[in-house]
Structure 1
Amino acid sequence: MLLENDRIVISIPNDQFCTMQKIIESSNEHVLAFAASFCKIADLHLVCMQSQENATGCTFVVFNVSSKTGGANFRTSIVEDGIMVQMKQEVLTNVKEKLMKHENIEIKDEATSYLVGCIPSSGASIEIRWENVRKSDLKIYSSVDGRWLGDSIRFRLSGRNVEVSSKTLLIRLVSLYILPQDEDESSPSCDPTLNDPPDDLYVLIKKISTSLAAALVNKADGYFVKNNQAKNVGVRFAYGFDTVEYSAGIDGCEIPEALLSITDDCLIPILSDSVRTTELPDASVARNRFCAN
Protein backbone atom coordinates (compact mmCIF):
# COMPACT_ATOMS: atom_id res chain seq x y z
CA MET A 1 0.00 0.00 0.00
CA LEU A 2 1.42 3.39 -1.02
CA LEU A 3 0.40 6.95 -0.21
CA GLU A 4 1.63 9.33 -2.90
CA ASN A 5 1.14 13.05 -3.51
CA ASP A 6 -2.35 12.82 -4.98
CA ARG A 7 -3.32 9.16 -4.85
CA ILE A 8 -3.48 6.02 -2.72
CA VAL A 9 -2.42 2.74 -4.36
CA ILE A 10 -3.46 -0.59 -2.80
CA SER A 11 -2.01 -3.73 -4.42
CA ILE A 12 -3.57 -7.10 -3.59
CA PRO A 13 -1.94 -10.45 -4.49
CA ASN A 14 -4.05 -12.45 -6.94
CA ASP A 15 -3.67 -15.58 -4.82
CA GLN A 16 -5.37 -13.80 -1.89
CA PHE A 17 -8.68 -13.38 -3.75
CA CYS A 18 -10.35 -16.01 -1.56
CA THR A 19 -9.10 -14.25 1.58
CA MET A 20 -10.45 -10.91 0.35
CA GLN A 21 -13.85 -12.47 -0.32
CA LYS A 22 -13.98 -13.72 3.28
CA ILE A 23 -13.00 -10.27 4.60
CA ILE A 24 -15.77 -8.60 2.61
CA GLU A 25 -18.37 -11.20 3.57
CA SER A 26 -17.57 -10.76 7.27
CA SER A 27 -17.51 -6.94 7.15
CA ASN A 28 -20.53 -4.84 8.01
CA GLU A 29 -22.31 -2.50 5.64
CA HIS A 30 -20.41 0.63 6.62
CA VAL A 31 -16.82 -0.53 7.21
CA LEU A 32 -14.16 -2.49 5.29
CA ALA A 33 -10.68 -2.88 6.82
CA PHE A 34 -7.64 -5.05 6.12
CA ALA A 35 -3.91 -5.09 6.89
CA ALA A 36 -1.05 -4.54 4.47
CA SER A 37 2.47 -5.94 4.24
CA PHE A 38 5.61 -3.84 4.57
CA CYS A 39 6.22 -2.01 1.28
CA LYS A 40 9.83 -2.31 0.12
CA ILE A 41 9.55 0.31 -2.62
CA ALA A 42 8.25 3.07 -0.34
CA ASP A 43 10.50 6.02 0.48
CA LEU A 44 9.33 5.89 4.08
CA HIS A 45 6.79 4.00 6.16
CA LEU A 46 4.15 5.13 8.63
CA VAL A 47 5.37 4.38 12.13
CA CYS A 48 5.69 7.51 14.26
CA MET A 49 7.47 10.13 12.14
CA GLN A 50 7.18 11.08 8.46
CA SER A 51 9.32 13.17 6.13
CA GLN A 52 8.40 15.00 2.95
CA GLU A 53 8.99 12.20 0.43
CA ASN A 54 6.65 11.26 -2.42
CA ALA A 55 5.59 7.70 -1.49
CA THR A 56 4.77 6.48 2.01
CA GLY A 57 3.97 2.90 3.02
CA CYS A 58 1.37 1.96 5.64
CA THR A 59 0.24 -1.24 7.31
CA PHE A 60 -3.56 -1.18 7.20
CA VAL A 61 -6.51 0.61 5.66
CA VAL A 62 -10.04 1.19 6.95
CA PHE A 63 -12.81 2.17 4.53
CA ASN A 64 -15.55 3.85 6.52
CA VAL A 65 -18.90 5.30 5.47
CA SER A 66 -19.24 8.94 6.42
CA SER A 67 -21.41 11.87 5.42
CA LYS A 68 -18.61 14.28 6.35
CA THR A 69 -16.59 14.17 3.13
CA GLY A 70 -17.01 17.83 2.30
CA GLY A 71 -18.82 17.08 -0.95
CA ALA A 72 -15.96 14.91 -2.25
CA ASN A 73 -16.11 11.17 -2.96
CA PHE A 74 -13.66 10.42 -0.17
CA ARG A 75 -11.54 11.90 2.59
CA THR A 76 -8.49 10.27 4.19
CA SER A 77 -6.57 10.66 7.43
CA ILE A 78 -3.64 8.94 9.13
CA VAL A 79 -4.55 6.67 12.05
CA GLU A 80 -1.42 5.45 13.86
CA ASP A 81 0.53 3.50 11.18
CA GLY A 82 -2.38 3.13 8.76
CA ILE A 83 -5.01 5.22 7.01
CA MET A 84 -8.76 5.67 7.27
CA VAL A 85 -10.71 6.47 4.12
CA GLN A 86 -14.12 8.06 4.70
CA MET A 87 -16.47 7.79 1.75
CA LYS A 88 -20.09 7.77 0.73
CA GLN A 89 -22.15 4.60 1.16
CA GLU A 90 -22.56 4.04 -2.58
CA VAL A 91 -18.80 4.36 -3.13
CA LEU A 92 -17.97 1.73 -0.48
CA THR A 93 -20.67 -0.58 -1.85
CA ASN A 94 -19.10 -0.28 -5.30
CA VAL A 95 -15.64 -1.03 -3.86
CA LYS A 96 -16.89 -4.23 -2.22
CA GLU A 97 -18.73 -5.37 -5.35
CA LYS A 98 -15.67 -4.93 -7.55
CA LEU A 99 -13.35 -6.67 -5.08
CA MET A 100 -15.75 -9.62 -4.95
CA LYS A 101 -15.47 -9.81 -8.75
CA HIS A 102 -11.66 -9.67 -8.68
CA GLU A 103 -11.66 -6.34 -10.50
CA ASN A 104 -9.27 -3.39 -10.23
CA ILE A 105 -10.68 -0.16 -8.80
CA GLU A 106 -9.86 3.49 -9.32
CA ILE A 107 -11.76 6.20 -7.45
CA LYS A 108 -11.18 9.67 -8.84
CA ASP A 109 -12.50 12.98 -7.66
CA GLU A 110 -12.06 16.06 -9.81
CA ALA A 111 -13.45 18.15 -6.98
CA THR A 112 -11.32 19.04 -3.99
CA SER A 113 -10.72 15.81 -2.06
CA TYR A 114 -8.99 15.41 1.27
CA LEU A 115 -6.06 13.05 0.95
CA VAL A 116 -3.62 11.95 3.64
CA GLY A 117 -3.33 14.31 6.59
CA CYS A 118 -6.65 16.02 5.73
CA ILE A 119 -4.82 18.24 3.19
CA PRO A 120 -7.10 19.38 0.33
CA SER A 121 -6.00 17.94 -3.03
CA SER A 122 -7.60 18.54 -6.42
CA GLY A 123 -7.90 15.47 -8.65
CA ALA A 124 -6.89 12.96 -5.97
CA SER A 125 -7.44 9.22 -6.53
CA ILE A 126 -7.44 5.84 -4.82
CA GLU A 127 -6.29 2.75 -6.75
CA ILE A 128 -6.91 -0.84 -5.66
CA ARG A 129 -5.31 -3.34 -8.01
CA TRP A 130 -4.72 -7.07 -8.13
CA GLU A 131 -1.22 -8.22 -9.02
CA ASN A 132 0.98 -11.29 -9.04
CA VAL A 133 3.20 -11.51 -5.97
CA ARG A 134 6.96 -11.54 -6.51
CA LYS A 135 7.64 -15.09 -5.39
CA SER A 136 11.08 -14.27 -4.04
CA ASP A 137 9.41 -12.23 -1.28
CA LEU A 138 7.47 -15.18 0.15
CA LYS A 139 9.04 -16.91 3.16
CA ILE A 140 7.13 -20.21 3.16
CA TYR A 141 9.00 -23.45 3.81
CA SER A 142 7.99 -27.10 3.58
CA SER A 143 7.42 -29.20 6.68
CA VAL A 144 8.90 -32.12 4.73
CA ASP A 145 12.48 -30.88 4.30
CA GLY A 146 12.51 -27.10 4.66
CA ARG A 147 12.23 -26.54 0.90
CA TRP A 148 11.23 -23.00 -0.09
CA LEU A 149 7.60 -22.98 -1.30
CA GLY A 150 7.47 -19.47 -2.72
CA ASP A 151 7.17 -20.88 -6.25
CA SER A 152 4.09 -22.94 -5.35
CA ILE A 153 0.35 -22.33 -5.42
CA ARG A 154 -1.24 -22.65 -1.98
CA PHE A 155 -4.77 -23.72 -1.11
CA ARG A 156 -5.88 -23.23 2.49
CA LEU A 157 -7.99 -26.26 3.46
CA SER A 158 -8.58 -25.68 7.18
CA GLY A 159 -12.27 -25.01 6.51
CA ARG A 160 -12.75 -28.39 4.86
CA ASN A 161 -12.76 -30.24 8.22
CA VAL A 162 -10.41 -33.03 7.15
CA GLU A 163 -9.22 -34.21 10.55
CA VAL A 164 -8.73 -37.29 12.71
CA SER A 165 -8.42 -37.26 16.50
CA SER A 166 -7.60 -39.52 19.43
CA LYS A 167 -7.80 -38.87 23.17
CA THR A 168 -4.53 -36.94 23.10
CA LEU A 169 -3.93 -35.85 19.50
CA LEU A 170 -5.72 -34.05 16.67
CA ILE A 171 -4.34 -34.22 13.12
CA ARG A 172 -5.87 -31.73 10.69
CA LEU A 173 -5.21 -31.05 7.00
CA VAL A 174 -4.40 -27.34 6.73
CA SER A 175 -2.82 -26.53 3.35
CA LEU A 176 -2.10 -27.96 -0.09
CA TYR A 177 0.77 -26.68 -2.23
CA ILE A 178 1.08 -27.39 -5.94
CA LEU A 179 4.77 -27.33 -6.86
CA PRO A 180 6.55 -27.03 -10.22
CA GLN A 181 7.53 -30.41 -11.65
CA ASP A 182 11.13 -29.31 -12.21
CA GLU A 183 13.32 -27.11 -10.03
CA ASP A 184 14.06 -24.77 -12.96
CA GLU A 185 10.38 -24.08 -13.66
CA SER A 186 9.16 -20.76 -12.31
CA SER A 187 5.63 -21.83 -11.37
CA PRO A 188 3.20 -24.77 -11.51
CA SER A 189 0.73 -25.11 -14.37
CA CYS A 190 -2.34 -24.27 -12.32
CA ASP A 191 -4.49 -21.14 -12.23
CA PRO A 192 -3.23 -19.04 -9.24
CA THR A 193 -6.61 -17.32 -8.86
CA LEU A 194 -8.49 -20.53 -8.04
CA ASN A 195 -10.15 -20.47 -4.63
CA ASP A 196 -10.06 -24.25 -4.24
CA PRO A 197 -8.03 -27.11 -5.70
CA PRO A 198 -9.51 -29.06 -8.64
CA ASP A 199 -12.17 -31.49 -7.42
CA ASP A 200 -10.37 -34.66 -8.53
CA LEU A 201 -7.18 -33.56 -6.83
CA TYR A 202 -9.02 -32.68 -3.61
CA VAL A 203 -10.65 -36.13 -3.53
CA LEU A 204 -7.21 -37.72 -3.65
CA ILE A 205 -5.74 -35.32 -1.07
CA LYS A 206 -8.63 -36.00 1.30
CA LYS A 207 -8.20 -39.76 0.90
CA ILE A 208 -4.46 -39.57 1.56
CA SER A 209 -4.81 -37.21 4.53
CA THR A 210 -7.62 -39.12 6.20
CA SER A 211 -5.91 -42.50 5.80
CA LEU A 212 -2.51 -41.29 6.95
CA ALA A 213 -3.91 -39.38 9.93
CA ALA A 214 -5.92 -42.42 11.03
CA ALA A 215 -2.80 -44.59 10.82
CA LEU A 216 -0.63 -42.16 12.79
CA VAL A 217 -2.98 -40.61 15.34
CA ASN A 218 -2.58 -43.37 17.95
CA LYS A 219 1.13 -44.00 17.37
CA ALA A 220 2.76 -40.62 16.82
CA ASP A 221 1.83 -38.59 19.90
CA GLY A 222 5.44 -38.28 21.03
CA TYR A 223 6.61 -37.19 17.60
CA PHE A 224 3.97 -34.58 16.78
CA VAL A 225 3.87 -32.71 20.10
CA LYS A 226 6.84 -31.39 22.10
CA ASN A 227 6.68 -29.18 25.19
CA ASN A 228 2.93 -28.79 24.57
CA GLN A 229 3.67 -27.32 21.13
CA ALA A 230 2.15 -28.98 18.06
CA LYS A 231 4.48 -29.68 15.14
CA ASN A 232 3.79 -29.30 11.44
CA VAL A 233 3.68 -32.52 9.43
CA GLY A 234 4.11 -32.51 5.67
CA VAL A 235 3.76 -35.06 2.87
CA ARG A 236 5.08 -34.37 -0.63
CA PHE A 237 4.15 -36.70 -3.45
CA ALA A 238 4.53 -36.88 -7.20
CA TYR A 239 2.82 -39.33 -9.48
CA GLY A 240 1.90 -39.77 -13.09
CA PHE A 241 1.44 -42.58 -15.55
CA ASP A 242 4.97 -43.88 -14.92
CA THR A 243 5.93 -42.35 -11.55
CA VAL A 244 4.83 -42.81 -7.95
CA GLU A 245 6.92 -41.33 -5.13
CA TYR A 246 6.48 -39.56 -1.81
CA SER A 247 8.45 -38.07 1.08
CA ALA A 248 7.30 -37.04 4.55
CA GLY A 249 8.70 -34.88 7.32
CA ILE A 250 8.03 -33.06 10.58
CA ASP A 251 8.99 -29.39 10.97
CA GLY A 252 11.42 -29.60 8.05
CA CYS A 253 13.14 -32.82 9.16
CA GLU A 254 12.79 -36.34 7.74
CA ILE A 255 10.07 -38.40 9.36
CA PRO A 256 11.46 -40.78 12.05
CA GLU A 257 12.26 -44.34 10.93
CA ALA A 258 9.80 -45.68 13.48
CA LEU A 259 6.96 -44.15 11.44
CA LEU A 260 8.25 -45.02 7.94
CA SER A 261 6.56 -48.41 7.76
CA ILE A 262 3.24 -46.79 8.70
CA THR A 263 3.52 -44.13 6.00
CA ASP A 264 4.68 -46.71 3.42
CA ASP A 265 1.79 -49.06 4.13
CA CYS A 266 -0.67 -46.17 3.94
CA LEU A 267 0.54 -44.01 1.05
CA ILE A 268 2.07 -46.36 -1.52
CA PRO A 269 -1.14 -48.36 -2.16
CA ILE A 270 -3.23 -45.17 -2.47
CA LEU A 271 -0.85 -43.48 -4.89
CA SER A 272 -0.33 -46.64 -6.94
CA ASP A 273 -4.06 -47.20 -7.17
CA SER A 274 -4.59 -43.59 -8.26
CA VAL A 275 -2.47 -44.17 -11.36
CA ARG A 276 -4.69 -47.07 -12.37
CA THR A 277 -8.01 -45.34 -11.74
CA THR A 278 -9.86 -42.20 -12.73
CA GLU A 279 -8.62 -40.48 -9.55
CA LEU A 280 -5.57 -39.24 -11.49
CA PRO A 281 -6.07 -35.49 -12.07
CA ASP A 282 -6.30 -34.20 -15.62
CA ALA A 283 -3.20 -33.27 -17.63
CA SER A 284 -3.23 -29.66 -16.43
CA VAL A 285 -2.21 -30.71 -12.92
CA ALA A 286 -0.93 -34.29 -13.30
CA ARG A 287 2.53 -33.02 -14.25
CA ASN A 288 2.93 -31.15 -10.96
CA ARG A 289 4.18 -32.20 -7.56
CA PHE A 290 2.05 -31.71 -4.46
CA CYS A 291 2.73 -31.01 -0.81
CA ALA A 292 0.09 -31.36 1.91
CA ASN A 293 0.55 -30.02 5.46
Structure 2
Amino acid sequence: MNKSNEHVLAMGACFNEHADSHLVCVQNDDGNYQTQAISIHNQPRKVTGSCFFVFSGALKASSGYLAKTSIVEDGLMVQITAEMMEALRQALREMKDFHIPCGKADQEECQEHIHIQWQEDDRNFNKGIISPIDGKSMESITSIKIFHGSEYRASGKVIRWTEVFFLQSEDQPNGLSDPADHSRLTENVARAFCVALCPHLKLLKEDGMAKLGLRVTLDSDQVGYLAGSNGQPLLPQYMKDLDSALVPVIHGGACQLSEGPVVMELVFYILENIS
Protein backbone atom coordinates (compact mmCIF):
# COMPACT_ATOMS: atom_id res chain seq x y z
CA MET A 1 0.00 0.00 0.00
CA ASN A 2 2.68 2.49 0.97
CA LYS A 3 5.15 1.59 -1.76
CA SER A 4 2.78 1.23 -4.71
CA ASN A 5 2.06 3.93 -7.30
CA GLU A 6 -0.70 6.19 -5.95
CA HIS A 7 -2.63 5.91 -9.23
CA VAL A 8 -2.41 2.10 -9.60
CA LEU A 9 -3.08 -0.69 -7.12
CA ALA A 10 -2.25 -4.19 -8.39
CA MET A 11 -2.33 -7.44 -6.45
CA GLY A 12 -1.78 -11.09 -7.33
CA ALA A 13 -4.47 -13.62 -6.48
CA CYS A 14 -4.31 -17.15 -5.10
CA PHE A 15 -6.06 -20.18 -6.57
CA ASN A 16 -9.70 -20.12 -5.50
CA GLU A 17 -10.96 -23.58 -4.52
CA HIS A 18 -14.55 -22.28 -4.41
CA ALA A 19 -14.53 -21.14 -8.06
CA ASP A 20 -15.92 -23.43 -10.76
CA SER A 21 -13.86 -21.73 -13.50
CA HIS A 22 -10.68 -19.66 -13.83
CA LEU A 23 -9.35 -17.11 -16.29
CA VAL A 24 -6.29 -18.23 -18.25
CA CYS A 25 -4.19 -16.55 -20.93
CA VAL A 26 -3.38 -18.75 -23.94
CA GLN A 27 -0.87 -17.99 -26.68
CA ASN A 28 -2.19 -18.68 -30.17
CA ASP A 29 -0.20 -20.06 -33.10
CA ASP A 30 0.29 -16.52 -34.42
CA GLY A 31 1.97 -15.45 -31.18
CA ASN A 32 -0.91 -13.36 -29.84
CA TYR A 33 -2.47 -13.96 -26.43
CA GLN A 34 -6.14 -14.65 -25.85
CA THR A 35 -8.16 -14.83 -22.67
CA GLN A 36 -10.12 -18.00 -22.01
CA ALA A 37 -12.04 -19.39 -19.06
CA ILE A 38 -11.40 -23.00 -18.13
CA SER A 39 -14.26 -24.64 -16.29
CA ILE A 40 -15.57 -27.94 -14.99
CA HIS A 41 -16.97 -30.06 -17.82
CA ASN A 42 -20.76 -29.85 -18.27
CA GLN A 43 -21.13 -27.46 -15.35
CA PRO A 44 -22.36 -23.87 -15.72
CA ARG A 45 -19.95 -21.14 -14.67
CA LYS A 46 -21.08 -19.31 -11.56
CA VAL A 47 -17.84 -18.22 -9.88
CA THR A 48 -14.77 -17.40 -12.00
CA GLY A 49 -11.37 -16.90 -10.43
CA SER A 50 -8.65 -14.60 -11.76
CA CYS A 51 -4.88 -14.52 -11.34
CA PHE A 52 -4.64 -10.83 -10.45
CA PHE A 53 -6.63 -7.63 -10.21
CA VAL A 54 -5.67 -4.04 -10.94
CA PHE A 55 -7.35 -0.82 -9.81
CA SER A 56 -6.44 2.17 -11.96
CA GLY A 57 -7.28 5.68 -10.74
CA ALA A 58 -6.91 7.26 -14.19
CA LEU A 59 -10.63 7.39 -15.08
CA LYS A 60 -11.69 10.99 -15.74
CA ALA A 61 -14.92 12.28 -14.25
CA SER A 62 -15.73 13.73 -17.67
CA SER A 63 -15.80 10.22 -19.18
CA GLY A 64 -19.39 9.79 -18.03
CA TYR A 65 -18.59 6.55 -16.19
CA LEU A 66 -18.67 5.84 -12.47
CA ALA A 67 -16.21 2.99 -13.02
CA LYS A 68 -15.33 0.54 -15.79
CA THR A 69 -14.32 -3.13 -15.61
CA SER A 70 -12.54 -5.25 -18.19
CA ILE A 71 -10.72 -8.57 -18.38
CA VAL A 72 -7.01 -8.22 -19.17
CA GLU A 73 -5.24 -11.50 -19.99
CA ASP A 74 -5.99 -13.67 -16.94
CA GLY A 75 -6.92 -10.87 -14.56
CA LEU A 76 -9.43 -8.11 -13.87
CA MET A 77 -8.91 -4.39 -14.51
CA VAL A 78 -11.09 -1.85 -12.71
CA GLN A 79 -10.84 1.78 -13.83
CA ILE A 80 -11.96 4.29 -11.19
CA THR A 81 -11.60 8.02 -10.57
CA ALA A 82 -8.79 9.48 -8.50
CA GLU A 83 -11.27 10.31 -5.74
CA MET A 84 -12.54 6.74 -5.69
CA MET A 85 -8.95 5.45 -5.57
CA GLU A 86 -8.23 7.59 -2.53
CA ALA A 87 -11.35 6.29 -0.79
CA LEU A 88 -10.46 2.70 -1.72
CA ARG A 89 -6.96 3.00 -0.27
CA GLN A 90 -8.33 4.48 2.93
CA ALA A 91 -10.83 1.62 3.27
CA LEU A 92 -8.08 -0.97 2.75
CA ARG A 93 -5.87 0.68 5.36
CA GLU A 94 -8.76 0.58 7.83
CA MET A 95 -9.65 -3.01 6.77
CA LYS A 96 -13.19 -2.02 5.85
CA ASP A 97 -15.42 -3.43 3.10
CA PHE A 98 -15.73 -1.27 -0.01
CA HIS A 99 -18.26 -1.01 -2.85
CA ILE A 100 -17.66 0.35 -6.37
CA PRO A 101 -20.69 0.86 -8.64
CA CYS A 102 -19.80 0.49 -12.33
CA GLY A 103 -21.33 1.75 -15.54
CA LYS A 104 -22.44 5.09 -16.94
CA ALA A 105 -23.24 7.85 -14.48
CA ASP A 106 -26.57 8.68 -16.15
CA GLN A 107 -27.94 5.15 -15.80
CA GLU A 108 -30.62 4.59 -13.18
CA GLU A 109 -29.24 1.17 -12.20
CA CYS A 110 -25.68 -0.03 -12.35
CA GLN A 111 -25.05 -3.13 -14.43
CA GLU A 112 -22.01 -4.23 -12.43
CA HIS A 113 -20.83 -3.91 -8.86
CA ILE A 114 -17.38 -4.43 -7.35
CA HIS A 115 -17.48 -5.59 -3.73
CA ILE A 116 -14.27 -5.77 -1.71
CA GLN A 117 -14.92 -7.79 1.41
CA TRP A 118 -12.66 -8.76 4.28
CA GLN A 119 -12.88 -12.42 5.24
CA GLU A 120 -11.57 -14.60 8.04
CA ASP A 121 -7.91 -15.51 7.64
CA ASP A 122 -7.62 -18.42 5.22
CA ARG A 123 -5.26 -21.09 6.53
CA ASN A 124 -6.10 -23.57 3.79
CA PHE A 125 -2.90 -23.38 1.73
CA ASN A 126 0.36 -25.28 1.08
CA LYS A 127 -1.65 -28.51 1.31
CA GLY A 128 0.46 -31.62 0.81
CA ILE A 129 3.77 -29.72 1.04
CA ILE A 130 6.37 -31.31 3.34
CA SER A 131 9.83 -30.29 4.46
CA PRO A 132 12.74 -31.92 2.63
CA ILE A 133 14.61 -31.90 5.95
CA ASP A 134 12.40 -34.18 8.06
CA GLY A 135 9.02 -34.50 6.32
CA LYS A 136 7.35 -31.89 8.54
CA SER A 137 4.00 -30.74 7.09
CA MET A 138 4.01 -27.19 5.73
CA GLU A 139 0.23 -26.94 5.44
CA SER A 140 -1.14 -23.56 6.63
CA ILE A 141 2.37 -22.18 7.10
CA THR A 142 3.03 -18.78 5.51
CA SER A 143 5.51 -18.90 2.64
CA ILE A 144 6.87 -16.63 -0.07
CA LYS A 145 7.91 -17.79 -3.53
CA ILE A 146 11.30 -16.45 -4.57
CA PHE A 147 11.49 -15.57 -8.25
CA HIS A 148 14.76 -13.66 -8.32
CA GLY A 149 16.64 -15.16 -5.40
CA SER A 150 20.16 -16.43 -4.96
CA GLU A 151 21.41 -18.64 -7.79
CA TYR A 152 24.92 -20.05 -8.21
CA ARG A 153 26.52 -22.29 -10.82
CA ALA A 154 29.29 -24.86 -10.49
CA SER A 155 30.28 -28.17 -12.13
CA GLY A 156 27.53 -27.92 -14.74
CA LYS A 157 24.83 -27.51 -12.08
CA VAL A 158 22.93 -24.56 -10.67
CA ILE A 159 21.53 -24.22 -7.14
CA ARG A 160 18.50 -21.96 -6.86
CA TRP A 161 16.62 -20.60 -3.85
CA THR A 162 12.89 -20.96 -4.62
CA GLU A 163 10.84 -20.44 -1.43
CA VAL A 164 10.94 -19.52 2.24
CA PHE A 165 8.50 -20.71 4.92
CA PHE A 166 8.02 -18.75 8.15
CA LEU A 167 7.38 -21.45 10.71
CA GLN A 168 7.23 -19.37 13.88
CA SER A 169 7.39 -15.90 15.34
CA GLU A 170 6.70 -14.58 18.80
CA ASP A 171 3.38 -12.95 17.91
CA GLN A 172 2.11 -15.52 15.40
CA PRO A 173 3.07 -19.18 15.91
CA ASN A 174 2.30 -19.98 12.25
CA GLY A 175 4.18 -17.11 10.61
CA LEU A 176 5.71 -13.67 10.89
CA SER A 177 3.58 -10.56 11.20
CA ASP A 178 5.48 -9.06 8.26
CA PRO A 179 7.81 -11.50 6.45
CA ALA A 180 9.20 -8.64 4.34
CA ASP A 181 10.98 -7.34 7.45
CA HIS A 182 13.31 -10.35 7.24
CA SER A 183 14.07 -10.16 3.52
CA ARG A 184 17.68 -9.06 4.02
CA LEU A 185 18.40 -11.81 6.54
CA THR A 186 16.84 -14.55 4.40
CA GLU A 187 18.75 -13.33 1.34
CA ASN A 188 22.06 -13.41 3.25
CA VAL A 189 21.32 -16.90 4.59
CA ALA A 190 20.36 -18.17 1.13
CA ARG A 191 23.50 -16.72 -0.42
CA ALA A 192 25.75 -18.31 2.21
CA PHE A 193 24.03 -21.70 1.78
CA CYS A 194 24.44 -21.66 -2.00
CA VAL A 195 28.09 -20.60 -1.86
CA ALA A 196 28.92 -23.29 0.70
CA LEU A 197 27.37 -26.08 -1.38
CA CYS A 198 28.71 -24.99 -4.78
CA PRO A 199 31.70 -27.39 -4.61
CA HIS A 200 29.29 -30.26 -3.86
CA LEU A 201 26.49 -29.67 -6.38
CA LYS A 202 27.45 -32.48 -8.75
CA LEU A 203 27.71 -35.05 -5.96
CA LEU A 204 24.46 -33.93 -4.31
CA LYS A 205 22.56 -34.13 -7.59
CA GLU A 206 23.97 -37.57 -8.40
CA ASP A 207 22.95 -38.81 -4.94
CA GLY A 208 19.35 -37.76 -5.60
CA MET A 209 19.41 -34.73 -3.31
CA ALA A 210 18.08 -32.18 -5.82
CA LYS A 211 15.67 -30.57 -3.35
CA LEU A 212 17.27 -29.17 -0.21
CA GLY A 213 15.89 -27.54 2.91
CA LEU A 214 17.53 -25.18 5.40
CA ARG A 215 15.71 -24.48 8.69
CA VAL A 216 17.11 -21.55 10.68
CA THR A 217 16.22 -20.88 14.33
CA LEU A 218 16.79 -17.45 15.88
CA ASP A 219 16.05 -17.18 19.59
CA SER A 220 17.64 -15.71 22.66
CA ASP A 221 18.18 -19.23 24.00
CA GLN A 222 18.88 -21.04 20.71
CA VAL A 223 20.55 -20.06 17.45
CA GLY A 224 21.23 -22.73 14.85
CA TYR A 225 20.18 -24.49 11.69
CA LEU A 226 19.22 -27.85 10.19
CA ALA A 227 19.90 -28.85 6.60
CA GLY A 228 18.60 -31.89 4.80
CA SER A 229 17.12 -33.58 1.76
CA ASN A 230 14.68 -36.46 1.18
CA GLY A 231 13.72 -36.36 4.86
CA GLN A 232 17.30 -36.94 6.06
CA PRO A 233 20.00 -34.58 7.42
CA LEU A 234 22.87 -33.75 5.07
CA LEU A 235 25.96 -35.91 5.52
CA PRO A 236 28.86 -34.65 7.67
CA GLN A 237 31.02 -34.14 4.57
CA TYR A 238 28.84 -31.13 3.67
CA MET A 239 28.40 -29.72 7.16
CA LYS A 240 31.93 -28.32 7.58
CA ASP A 241 31.51 -25.93 4.66
CA LEU A 242 27.98 -25.08 5.78
CA ASP A 243 29.13 -24.27 9.33
CA SER A 244 31.86 -21.95 8.04
CA ALA A 245 29.45 -20.07 5.79
CA LEU A 246 26.22 -20.06 7.81
CA VAL A 247 27.21 -19.68 11.47
CA PRO A 248 28.52 -16.07 11.14
CA VAL A 249 25.47 -15.02 9.09
CA ILE A 250 22.96 -16.59 11.46
CA HIS A 251 24.56 -15.21 14.61
CA GLY A 252 24.79 -11.79 12.99
CA GLY A 253 21.10 -11.94 12.13
CA ALA A 254 20.21 -12.99 15.68
CA CYS A 255 22.02 -9.96 17.09
CA GLN A 256 19.99 -7.62 14.86
CA LEU A 257 16.67 -9.32 15.53
CA SER A 258 14.14 -6.94 17.10
CA GLU A 259 11.54 -9.67 17.67
CA GLY A 260 11.87 -13.31 18.54
CA PRO A 261 11.86 -16.22 18.41
CA VAL A 262 11.87 -16.78 14.64
CA VAL A 263 12.06 -20.09 12.76
CA MET A 264 12.16 -20.09 8.98
CA GLU A 265 12.84 -22.72 6.35
CA LEU A 266 14.39 -22.02 2.96
CA VAL A 267 13.95 -24.40 0.01
CA PHE A 268 16.55 -24.86 -2.74
CA TYR A 269 16.74 -26.89 -5.95
CA ILE A 270 19.80 -28.19 -7.80
CA LEU A 271 19.18 -28.12 -11.55
CA GLU A 272 21.16 -28.77 -14.69
CA ASN A 273 22.98 -25.71 -16.03
CA ILE A 274 21.61 -25.44 -19.55
CA SER A 275 22.93 -21.96 -20.39
Identify the residue that residue 107 of structure 1 maps to in structure 2: 99
**Alignment match of 2:259 (pick from 263, 274, 284):** 284
Measured in 2, the distance between the counterparts of 1:34 and 1:198 equals: 19
The alignment status of 1:219 with 2:197, answered yes or no, reads: no
Measured in 2, the distance between the counterparts of 1:141 and 1:92 equals: 43
**Alignment match of 1:233 (pick from 212, 218, 235):** 212
Give ranges in structure 1 of 5+ residues lacking alignment. Answer: 1-16
Listed as ranges, the matches of 1:1-293 within 5 Å are: 35=13, 37-40=15-18, 44-45=20-21, 47=37, 56-60=47-51, 61=53, 71-76=64-69, 85=78, 87-88=79-80, 90=82, 94=86, 106-109=98-101, 113-114=102-103, 121-122=109-110, 125-129=113-117, 133-139=121-127, 140-156=129-145, 158-159=147-148, 162-180=150-168, 187-188=173-174, 190-191=176-177, 193-197=178-182, 202=185, 205-224=186-205, 231-250=210-229, 252-255=230-233, 257=235, 260-267=236-243, 270-271=246-247, 279-282=254-257, 284-286=259-261, 288-293=262-267
| Structure 1 pair 31–178 and aligned structure 2 pair: CA distance change class (3 A) | closer
Q: Contact 1:59–1:82 (CA<8 Å) still a contact in 2?
A: yes
Measured in 1, the distance between the counterparts of 2:91 and 2:160 equals: 31
Following TM superposition, by how much is the alpha carbon of 1:224 offset from its aligned partner in structure 2, in angstroms? Answer: 3.3
| Structure 1 pair 256–179 and aligned structure 2 pair: CA distance change class (3 A) | closer
Aligned residues: 245
> For 1:62-116, what per-residue CA distance to the aligned partner results, in whole angstroms no more than 9, with x for missing partners?
667778x99441344678987664x34537855886699696562333xxx459x
| Structure 1 pair 206–105 and aligned structure 2 pair: CA distance change class (3 A) | same
| Structure 1 pair 156–147 and aligned structure 2 pair: CA distance change class (3 A) | same
Measured in 1, the distance between the counterparts of 2:223 and 2:9 equals: 50
Q: If the length of structure 1 is used for normalisation, what is the TM-score?
A: 0.56
Measured in 2, the distance between the counterparts of 1:51 and 1:207 equals: 49
> For 1:151-178, what per-residue CA distance to the aligned partner results, in whole angstroms no more than 9, with x for missing partners?
433345554x544332523334343322
Measured in 1, the distance between the counterparts of 2:218 and 2:14 equals: 38
- Counterpart code for 1:248: A
Q: Contact 2:59–2:82 (CA<8 Å) still a contact in 1?
A: no
| Structure 1 pair 221–91 and aligned structure 2 pair: CA distance change class (3 A) | farther
* Aligned-pair Cα RMSD in Å: 5.1
> For 1:110-161, what per-residue CA distance to the aligned partner results, in whole angstroms no more than 9, with x for missing partners?
xxx459xxxx8449631235656422333343232332223433345554x5
Measured in 1, the distance between the counterparts of 2:238 and 2:45 equals: 62
Measured in 2, the distance between the counterparts of 1:282 and 1:80 equals: 42
Give ranges in structure 2 of 5+ residues lacking alignment. Answer: 23-36, 268-275
Q: If the length of structure 2 is used for normalisation, what is the TM-score?
A: 0.59
Measured in 2, the distance between the counterparts of 1:265 and 1:89 equals: 57
Q: Contact 2:200–2:238 (CA<8 Å) still a contact in 1?
A: no
Measured in 2, the distance between the counterparts of 1:52 and 1:173 equals: 38
| Structure 1 pair 104–114 and aligned structure 2 pair: CA distance change class (3 A) | same
